[in-house]
Amino acid sequence: MYIKKKLFALNLTPCKTGRKYSEIYTSSKVFGDDRNEAFDVTIQLPNIQIELSEKIIRRWNSAAKKPIINNGLYLSSPILIKSPKNKDVRLSLSGERGFSRFANTEICMNDTEISNTNVEIKLSNRVFLFDLSYKGDSNKSYLSSRIKDYLDKLKVSNVDINNFSGIYSDDSKISIPIENYNIESNENNTLIINNNLIIGKMQIRCQRTENNEEIVLLVNGKENKYNIGTLSEKVFKLGFEKAKIEIDGNNLLIYFIKFAQRK
């Protein structure tokens, strides 16, 4: 069973192994088929798999530092949401409020790359689905302002926030390759993903120098000095449509946006 939307897909297929069968339990209250009429659906199941296009994120071989290919094709990297206590995960969708957040879940992912960038990502357990086209979405005010802030920083104007839907994850892990090193994120990282694009904010601790154009980063246990302008150019050349670096105290902030690869 799938809940399909062009911006992502949810795989709700029950698990069948031998004589064991994990059923999907649903409860719903439906009044009409129109978006403007009320409906309320809750599905309980062992796990939920979010499927995204391999044009935006794909399977990654961390040891070889290259994407995984099968029969000449890149592999998508699904995001599995499960409960750590072997309980069912509740997926709720309301005609007024859109998706409800998950509670007490864990994320299981393969090694994953933002497609065509060599940038590795790992979503945190604090992940949820959202659809800002629902006027009563409890995340609408918070997410709309945050996404707008990121887009404004990146000077991107062709994204319709009012109809934006996808996956949100804070405290994600992000690893950016610079020269022969990987720069690892600290805390307070954000990833917003759907089949069309990925928007991110990466935070890295840094040391300031007397030269305002330079910072020092601790990479692989060694201090490395970087020119901010040169570092910004290197991040952009990884394959992002837009990238921007800011310095906030002793934190290096990297904002980026990547649209789906076009064939």
Average pLDDT over every residue of 213-236: 89
- Phi and psi at 5, nearest 5°, equal -150, 145
Average pLDDT over every residue of 98-109: 88
- pLDDT for 20-69, tens place per residue? 444 455 555 544 455 555 668 888 888 889 999 999 999 999 999 999 99
| 232, two tokens | 């910004």
CA-to-CA separations, 43 to 69, 89, 182, in angstroms, rounded: 34, 8, 40
The alpha carbon of 183 is separated from its chain's Cα centroid by a whole number of angstroms, namely 18
- pLDDT for 93-103, tens place per residue? 887 788 888 88
116: left (phi over 0), alpha (psi -120 to 50) or beta: left
CA-to-CA separations, 257 to 86, 191, 253, in angstroms, rounded: 36, 10, 14
Residue 106 reports pLDDT greater than 80: yes
7: left (phi over 0), alpha (psi -120 to 50) or beta: alpha
Residue 263 reports pLDDT greater than 70: no
Confidence of residue 86 (pLDDT cuts 50, 70, 90): confident
Residue with tokens 């692989």: 220
Q: What per-residue confidence (pLDDT) applies to 32?
A: 47
Average pLDDT, the chain: 85
Confidence of residue 149 (pLDDT cuts 50, 70, 90): very high
Residue 245 reports pLDDT greater than 50: yes
- pLDDT for 151-167, tens place per residue? 999 999 999 998 899 99
Q: Give the predicted TM-score (pTM) of the model.
A: 0.86
Instruction: Give a three-class secondary structure readout of 205-263.
Output: ECEECCCCCEEEEEECCEEEEEEHHHHHHHHHCCCCCEEEEEEECCEEEEEEEEECCCC
CA distance 67 to 112: 8
| 207, two tokens | 């040391």
CA distance 143 to 152: 14
